[in-house]
């Protein structure tokens, strides 16, 4: 048995395979023209690439814009400068004997005012959104309830503590032996 | 049997690999041309692949139905060519369409009437051919298609591998085992 001949028609021909080829060859495909109707249009392959590219570009632009805006608002806060003028400390004027009520107090020369510059620095805002009014009320109520519960617990605990410390209670529950 | 088949796999794979790029390049060019509106390109694809489709159908459906089905399959492929993702996979793609169409044929024929598969030809040679074809059709599915493509359509093992998308190793094993079973069947027939 020659496997090469069966595989790729090389080598020594296998008589049995040759015989089968000869017999079965009568059933072989007979070339016939393909009749494609003229009205049959070939659907074109849809090219989605331009649309996808446009959509991706728009998305990218929005993303970059959003990032830029958020970075800008975080890193470049507008400093709020408040110039506060500190009131000049009143000088105590010790009355002297030479000073009469009629005398005018010596004019105090105004001291140069110190200028205090307060720069309000923006803290980076937390990502958590601010609470709305109703949420804030709800949170306050929850806080009050929590405080009440803690107070009650404390009182109960102190009561228990007192009871356990009371010597009468200790004896009360003991059995006397003998 | 298995050892013999496995020993011969290496040369088969090498031969198939050598043939594959050229075949694939033609497919790719033709598919691209057809998608750009060249109808003649599809005619060339038809002439290249009609024997493959014919062989696949001959292994599954009555002989009288094969020629019409070949035309139907190629028309269907023409309409759906834009759905083919890889141009180089035209062969495996149309082979799959042919197999599916054969399954559909049997489903429909079961629903309607029994197909009178009179394969007997007019002369002795034809009659003998149809008898052997019937034997091949009774072999396990994996072997019958490969054997028909080799013995009826005259394709070599590497050609079958390239056009169907099967590995050369699978084709070689199918050919070897299918041929062994066919020899047994033929011996049984001649013994009667």
Give residue B13's pLDDT.
47
Torsions phi, psi for A83 (to 5 deg) = -95, 110
Give residue A23's pLDDT.
93
Judged by average pLDDT, the poorest of A39-48, B13-22, B38-47, B63-72 is: B13-22
Give residue A91's pLDDT.
54
Instruction: Give alpha helix (H) positions in A34-132.
Output: 49-75
Cα distances from B102 to residues A52, B59, B72, in angstroms, run 39, 9, 11
User: Which pLDDT tens digit goes with each residue over B5-20?
Assistant: 444 444 444 444 445 5
Judged by average pLDDT, the poorest of A142-146, B6-10, B55-59 is: B6-10
Q: Is B126 exposed, middle or buried (0-12, 13-18, 19+ CB in 10 A)?
A: middle
What's the rounded Cα separation, in Å, for the pair B114 and B143? 26
User: Which pLDDT tens digit goes with each residue over B85-98?
Assistant: 888 899 999 999 99
Say if the Cβ atoms of B47 and A26 lie within 8 Å: no
> Is pTM beyond 0.80 here?
no
Neighbour tally for B121: CB within 10 Å? 16
B114: which DSSP letter?
A: -
Q: Is B94 exposed, middle or buried (0-12, 13-18, 19+ CB in 10 A)?
A: buried
Give residue A121's pLDDT.
62
Mean pLDDT across A56-75: 86
What rounded mean pLDDT belongs to chain B?
83
Mean pLDDT across A132-142: 90
Give residue A27's pLDDT.
94
Closest to B50 (Cβ–Cβ): which among A16, A21, A29?
A: A29
Closest to B179 (Cβ–Cβ): which among A6, A25, A32?
A: A6
Give the residue among B119, B173, B171 at the shortest CA–CA distance from B146: B171
Say if the Cβ atoms of B43 and A34 lie within 8 Å: yes
Mutate to test the interface with A, among B179, B183, B184 (most CBs of A within 10 A): B179
Say if the Cβ atoms of A32 and B67 lie within 8 Å: yes
Q: Confidence class of residue B25 from pLDDT cuts 50, 70 and 90? A: confident
End-to-end CA distance of chain B: 26
Residues above pLDDT 90, as percent of chain B: 58
Give residue B2's pLDDT.
40
Neighbour tally for A37: CB within 10 Å? 8
Q: Which residues of A touch B148 (CB under 8 A)?
A: 24
**Is B85 within 8 Å of chain A by CB?**
no
Give residue A76's pLDDT.
59
Instruction: Give alpha helix (H) positions in A76-176.
Output: 133-165, 167-172
Report ipTM (2 d.p.). 0.78
Tokens of B93: 């793609």
Q: Decide if pLDDT at A88 tops 60.
A: no
What's the rounded Cα separation, in Å, for the pair B81 and B31? 8
What rounded mean pLDDT belongs to chain A?
75
């Amino acid at each position: 048995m020659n496997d090469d001949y069966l595989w790729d028609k090389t080598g020594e021909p296998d008589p049995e395979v040759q015989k089968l080829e000869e017999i079965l060859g009568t059933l072989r495909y007979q070339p016939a023209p393909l009749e494609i109707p003229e009205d049959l249009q070939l659907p074109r392959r849809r090219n989605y690439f331009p649309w996808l590219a446009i959509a991706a570009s728009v998305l990218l632009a929005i993303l970059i814009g959003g990032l830029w805006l958020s970075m800008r608002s975080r890193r470049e806060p507008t400093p709020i400068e408040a110039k506060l003028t500190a009131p000049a400390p009143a000088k105590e004027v010790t009355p002297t004997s030479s000073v009469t009520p009629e005398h005018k107090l010596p004019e105090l020369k105004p001291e140069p005012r110190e200028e205090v510059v307060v720069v309000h620095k923006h803290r980076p805002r937390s990502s958590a959104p601010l609470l709305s009014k109703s949420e804030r009320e709800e949170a306050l109520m929850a806080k009050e309830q929590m405080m009440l519960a803690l107070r009650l617990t404390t009182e109960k605990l102190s009561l228990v503590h007192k009871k356990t410390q009371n010597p009468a209670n200790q004896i009360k529950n003991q059995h006397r032996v003998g | 049997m298995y050892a013999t088949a496995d020993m011969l796999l290496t040369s088969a794979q090498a031969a198939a690999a050598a043939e594959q790029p050229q075949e694939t390049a033609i497919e790719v060019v033709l598919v691209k041309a057809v998608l750009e509106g060249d109808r003649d390109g599809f005619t060339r694809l038809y002439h290249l692949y009609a024997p493959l489709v014919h062989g696949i159908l001959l292994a599954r459906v009555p002989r009288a139905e094969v020629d019409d089905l070949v035309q139907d399959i190629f028309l269907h492929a023409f309409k759906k060519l834009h759905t083919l993702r890889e141009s180089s996979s035209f062969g495996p793609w149309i082979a799959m369409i042919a197999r599916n169409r054969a399954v559909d044929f049997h489903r429909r024929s079961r629903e309607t009437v029994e197909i009178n598969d009179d394969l007997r030809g007019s002369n002795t040679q034809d009659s003998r051919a149809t008898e052997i074809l019937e034997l091949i059709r009774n072999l396990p599915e994996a072997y019958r298609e490969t054997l028909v493509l080799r013995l009826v359509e005259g394709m070599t093992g590497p050609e079958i591998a390239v056009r169907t998308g099967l590995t050369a190793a699978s084709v070689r094993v199918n050919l070897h085992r299918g041929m062994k079973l066919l020899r047994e069947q033929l011996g049984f027939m001649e013994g009667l």
